[in-house]
Each structure stands twice: as C-alpha cells, then as structure tokens.
Amino acid sequence: MHSKGNSCCCSFDECKLGTEWLLSRTRHRPKIAVICGSGLGFLAESISNKQAFRYEDIPNFPVSTVPGHDGQLVFGYINDKPCVFMQGRFHLYEGYSLCKVTLPVRMFKLMGVEMIIVTNASGGLCQDFKVGDIMVIKDHINLPGFAGQHPLCGPNDERFGIRFPCMSDAYSKDLRKLALDISTELGYSDFVREGVYCMVSGPNFETVAEARMLHILGSDSVGMSTIPEVTVAKHCGLRVLGLSLITNKVPLDYSNEEKVNHEEVLHISKMRAEMLQNVLNTFIARSDQVETINSC
Ligand SMILES: O=P(O)(O)O[C@H]1O[C@H](CO)[C@@H](O)[C@H]1O
Ligand code: HPA
C-alpha cells in the first residue's frame, strides 16, 4: 500500500465494506460477473435463483442516473454457473470519478469473481459494420486515459494489482475464440465480428471530424464506457470478455443527415436482445472450457 495514503475515493477498505455487506446477505458466490450496457439489462432475465440488491442500498455503491441502466445487482445462476449481473453501469459523464465507476469491479474481485463479461452499446466506425452487429472486443483505445482520466491514476494498492499492468492482452484470446466459435455454431457469423473499441468521455456523440479521427486511429466502434472497467479488471487479475452491440453507424461524412440519439441506441439494444442473450448464455455455460489464466 502506498505510504502517502490513498487519495482515491474507493479504497480497499471501502470496497471490502460493500463486498462484506453483500456476502452477508446472499448465499451466492459468483465466479462470473456481467456488466450490462445501455438497454442491455434484459441480459439478466434468464438468471435462475435470482436475488437482487438495489444499488442505493449497497454501501459505497454509486447509483445509476442514465435511462436504460436499471440500477440493481442481480445474483443467480446461468445454467449451473454462479453469476452476478450489473443491470446498469456508471459513466464518467455522469460525474463519477473513474475510481467510483470501477468500484463494482473491485468488489467482484473481492467476492471471488474470476471472469468479467462487459457489454455495451456502441457506434460503428468500421464501414463493414451494420446496425445490430455484435462486436467481440479484441482491443481498445483508451482516449480519456491518454489525457490522464484513468482509473489507476493515484496511489497503487498492491492488494489489487501491480503499478504498471500490461494491457496488450486485456481481452483474453481464448475467451474471444470461444465467443466467436459459439457465434458460428449458433449461425450468427454474418453479424458477429471482432474489432477495436474506443472510449470517449461523452456525453455528446462525436462530431464528423472526431469520428474520422477515431476511425483513422484504428477504432472500429466508439462508446463512452467499458475501458475503465476492463482496465481495473485486468489490473486485479480477472479474465475479460467484451461484447459490443453496434446500435448506430457513426456519420463519417458531412452529407450524412442521420442524427445519433440515445433512444435509437436503446431501441436497437432491444431488437438484438435474443441473439446477444444466446451468445452470452452459451458462453457462460461453456466458460469452463477455457482455463488459461490471462497474464502478461
Ligand atoms: O456504454 P454503454 O453503457 O452501453 O452506453 C452507451 O450508450 C450511451 C449513449 O447512447 C452511452 O452511455 C454509451 O457509452
Ligand atoms: O455513436 C456513439 N458514440 C458514442 N457512444 C455511443 N454509444 C452508442 N452509440 C454511440
């Protein structure tokens, strides 16, 4: 632990307090955590033996402020796999520090979770992508991180992880392969792809010039979340799978009259519900096929 003390708002002890509060109220001991993106809270619907906690009741937990993010933690089983689902995530643009945004990930680690599946809604930059495609995240570009908005800035608590974590394999290769194999088996290969996700802070959608820049930099899709959670998950040794639903195409030229909006994002999320849920549930059911620990 850093000798100067921890200036971050979510210390090890604060994470522990929330974790112990939960563990003393549930018999569930999840090994897999799922974060549901915008409009994707339905992913928790097929959980059996459900037990839910509202975010506002959990000590030190932030609360959801964005439409399409329900605000509860749901414990239960998918097949025979113990899971916990976040129905609603937190974003930088809501005014939360990235430390607070990622506090649930550290709580999952403390409760014994080994793998995290992050989902999100994002805008397609890759010209081959269509609305409704599912992108298995291969890598990311942490744009806010370049500007110092990074969840690991500040004193490093070694109980979570090392000072300089490797990120070149943040999204486990084996998990990506399993997700892609499952998609093929389900007959979804036409609309399941792999790509690079880029985070912007939001809350505005991109200008045309910004979108062009992100595309030139190598981003296939853009959103306002996920990367802080993945970074913290990798830091504390969780295996990560990322699934991004392409809810809109990001205009890359000035002649395009389409205007991106959050209602459209939520609408497309609903439309693709069944397919995304099939991929996710099959993945969870078969997740023990992949045993490799992801480390640099
Ligand atoms: O990333 P998730 O939480 O899925 O949400 C995405 O959708 C919202 C914009 O419609 C933004 O919050 C963006 O990040
Ligand atoms: O086009 C987008 N840009 C940023 N975030 C998003 N989330 C969904 N779509 C988008």
- To the question of whether residue 150 is assigned a binding role by annotation, the answer is no
On the CB side of 164, how many CA atoms lie within 13 Å of its CA?
Answer: 0
Strands (E), 112-238: 115-124, 134-142, 192-199, 221-223
For the stretch 232-266, pLDDT in tens is 999 999 999 999 999 999 999 998 878 888 888 88
Q: Output DSSP code: residue 251.
A: P
Check 11, 38, 64, 287 and give the catalytic one. 38
What is the residue extent of each domain of the chain?
12-289
Q: Closest residue (by CA) to atom 6 of ligand 1?
A: 121
pLDDT tens string 114-172: 999 999 999 999 999 999 999 999 999 999 999 999 999 999 999 999 999 999 999 99
Tell me the pTM: 0.94
Q: Which CATH number fits domain 12-289: 3.40.50.1580, 3.40.50.1240, 3.20.20.140, 1.10.1670.10?
A: 3.40.50.1580
Phi/psi zone of residue 30: left (φ > 0), alpha (ψ -120 to 50 degrees), beta? beta
Q: What is the CA radius of gyration of the chain?
A: 18
Question: How many Å apart are CA 199 and CA 118, to the nearest integer?
Answer: 14
213 — phi, psi (to 5°)?
-65, -45
Q: Is 262 a catalytic residue?
A: yes
Helices (H), 186-261: 208-216, 227-235
pLDDT band at 225 (very low <50, low <70, confident <90, very high): very high
pLDDT-derived band at 6 (thresholds 50, 70, 90) equals: very low
What average pLDDT score do residues 86-114 get?
Answer: 96
Q: In this predicted structure, what is the pLDDT of residue 237?
A: 96
CA of 122 to the centre of ligand 2 (A): 4
- What would the pLDDT profile of 36-69 be if each residue is shown by its tens digit? 999 899 999 999 999 999 999 999 899 988 887 7
Quote the CA–CA distance of 40 and 268 in Å, as a whole number: 10
| Max CA separation in the chain (angstroms) | 57
Note the ligand closest to the C-alpha atom of 206.
2
Beta bridge partners of 125: none
Mean pLDDT of 261-281: 88
- Give the pLDDT of residue 291: 65
Within 10 A of 99 (CB to CB), how many other CB atoms are there?
22
CA 296 – CA 294 distance, rounded (Å): 7
Decide if pLDDT at 295 tops 70.
no
Q: Which two tokens stand for residue 188?
A: 């979804």
Please work out whether the CB of residue 38 comes within 6 Å of at least one atom of ligand 1.
yes
Q: How far is the CA of 69 from the centre of ligand 1 (A)?
A: 9
ipTM of the complex: 0.99
Distance of CA 248 from the midpoint of ligand 2 (Å): 7
Q: Which of 239, 279, 271, 278 is nearest to 121 (CA)?
A: 271
Residue 216 banded pLDDT, cuts 50, 70, 90: very high
- 93 DSSP 8-state letter: G
Q: What percent of the chain has pLDDT over 70?
A: 95
Q: Residue 267 annotated as binding? A: no
pLDDT for 200 equals 98
Give the mean model confidence (pLDDT) for residues 68-90.
93
CB 85 within 8 A of CB 73: yes
pLDDT at 290: 81
Range with lowest mean pLDDT among 15-24, 119-128, 175-184, 262-271: 262-271
> Is 196 close to ligand 1, i.e. is its CB under 6 Å away?
no
DSSP-derived pairing of the beta strands 81-87 and 32-36: parallel
Name the residue with higher pLDDT: 85 or 268.
85
Active site residue 121: yes
**Residue 90 in marked binding region:** yes
pLDDT confidence band for 1 (50 / 70 / 90): very low
Output the pLDDT for position 51. Answer: 97
| 209 marked as part of a ligand binding site | no
Separation CA 121–CA 217 (nearest Å):
20
Per DSSP, the three-state class of 270 is: helix
Minimal-distance CA residue to ligand 2 atom 8: 122
The closest-lying atom of ligand 1 relative to the alpha carbon of residue 262 is 10
What is the separation of C-alpha 123 from the centre of its chain, rounded to a whole number of angstroms? 15
Q: What is the band of 4 on the pLDDT scale with cuts at 50, 70, 90?
A: very low
How far, in Å, CA of 119 to CA of 136, rounded? 9
Averaged confidence pLDDT in the chain:
92
What mean pLDDT is predicted for residues 6-29? 87
Measured between its terminal Cα atoms, the distance across the chain in Å is 22
